[in-house]
Structure 1
Amino acid sequence: MREITASIDIAASPEHIWNTLTDFSGYSEWNPMFIGGSGELVPGGKLALRMPVTPGGRAMTFTTTVLVADGRLLRWRGRLIGPAVFEAVHEFALAPHETGTRLTQREALVGALVPVAAPMINKYEQVVIRLNEALRNRCQMG
């Protein structure tokens, strides 16, 4: 198993951050990880998330299953064939903090492809950090 974790403090309410995070139509304006998305934010709902494969290259859409979407925690699971091959559980957790909200983004990766994909996962980890920073900048805009 491989886990990626990145936290950031944002001077905004959890509700404001949640609304920005779940506004899939606005992703292309600020989000470095996802350029779009759609779907139902209910447990068992499907999300179609669009990611750029390479800068300026073709984008890839993948489908995930929502596990939790309650205004403070958004968690989904994506699979390639099944958990033995590749499974990722991604979450955004929002917790009130003295200066606003602490956002913690986590992703747990399991399956046979994880060791093989290590170089790509290392680059992806940097995109997770950039997403946190971009969300902070978007939510703290005047």
Structure 2
Amino acid sequence: MAEVSAEARIEAPAAKVWAQLTDFTSYGRWNATHTGFPEGGPEPLETGATFTENMKLMGFPAEVAWTVEELEAERVLAIKGKGPMSVTVATRYSLTPADGATKVRIDGEFTGAAVSLMAGKLKDSATAALDESLRRLAGLVT
């Protein structure tokens, strides 16, 4: 298993950050690993909704079939998916209001046999992508 996380304070209210985070039509403007939604994002966005995302991590393209596992408006979006080579991916976005700004944390987890072969590189690449994603997200909402 490989676990990654990143956190940033974004100088915007949680409602504004949440609106951008859940606007799947503009996901590619901030999410550093996203390359497309072949059938669009989850519609409607609700627990149990499914969607497919094309991604690129460590230079490799991957398709992940996601399910929304937890959803609390302006607070939590947690998704879990199946990727290539039987890899399971989980991503959790947590928003915490902080004096007119928002603390945004992204936690990711990769599990599966293929992960153990490249856990170190995967952690480094995914952490860099999360940091870049938070930087871009902040730029869109501030």
The bucket for the TM-score relative to the shorter chain is: 0.7 to 0.9
Unaligned runs of at least 5 residues, structure 2 = none
Mapping 1:2-13, distance limit 5 Å = 2-13=2-13
Residue 42 of structure 1 corresponds to 46
- Residue aligned with 2:34, SS: coil
User: Cα offset for 1:108?
Assistant: 1.9
- Residue aligned with 1:32, SS: coil
- Residue aligned with 1:26, SS: helix
Q: Evaluate the alpha carbon distance shift between residue 34 and residue 98 of structure 1 in structure 2; reply closer, same or farther with a 3 A threshold.
A: same
Residue 138 of structure 1 corresponds to 140
Q: Evaluate the alpha carbon distance shift between residue 93 and residue 53 of structure 1 in structure 2; reply closer, same or farther with a 3 A threshold.
A: closer
Aligned counterpart for 2:122 among listed residues 120, 123, 136: 120
State the TM-score, normalized to the length of structure 2.
0.82
User: Cα offset for 1:81?
Assistant: 7.4
Measured against aligned partners, the alpha-carbon deviations of 1:40-87 in whole angstroms (never above 9, x if no partner) come to 3211110222324677xx8543210110122110101012479xx422
State the TM-score, normalized to the length of structure 1.
0.82
1:63, 1:48 → 2: CA distance? 4
Contact map agreement 1:31 1:134 (CA 8 A) in 2: yes
Unaligned runs of at least 5 residues, structure 1 = none
What percentage of residue pairs aligned between the two structures are identical?
23
Give the root-mean-square deviation of aligned CA atoms: 2.3
Q: Evaluate the alpha carbon distance shift between residue 127 and residue 27 of structure 1 in structure 2; reply closer, same or farther with a 3 A threshold.
A: same
Measured against aligned partners, the alpha-carbon deviations of 1:100-140 in whole angstroms (never above 9, x if no partner) come to 10000001222222211322342122111100111111111
